[in-house]
Amino acid sequence: MIMVRDAVRAGAGVARLPISLVGRDLTLGRLVEWGDAGAPEIVLWALYPSRRLLSARVSAFLDHLKAAFPTGAPDELAAYVDG
Q: Show me where the domains of the chain are located.
A: 2-82
Confidence of residue 83 (pLDDT cuts 50, 70, 90): low
pTM above threshold 0.75: no
Confidence of residue 62 (pLDDT cuts 50, 70, 90): confident
Percentage of residues of the chain with pLDDT beyond 70: 94
CB count, 10 Å around CB of 43? 6
- What pLDDT sits at residue 9? 93
Contact 7, 19 (CB under 8 A): no
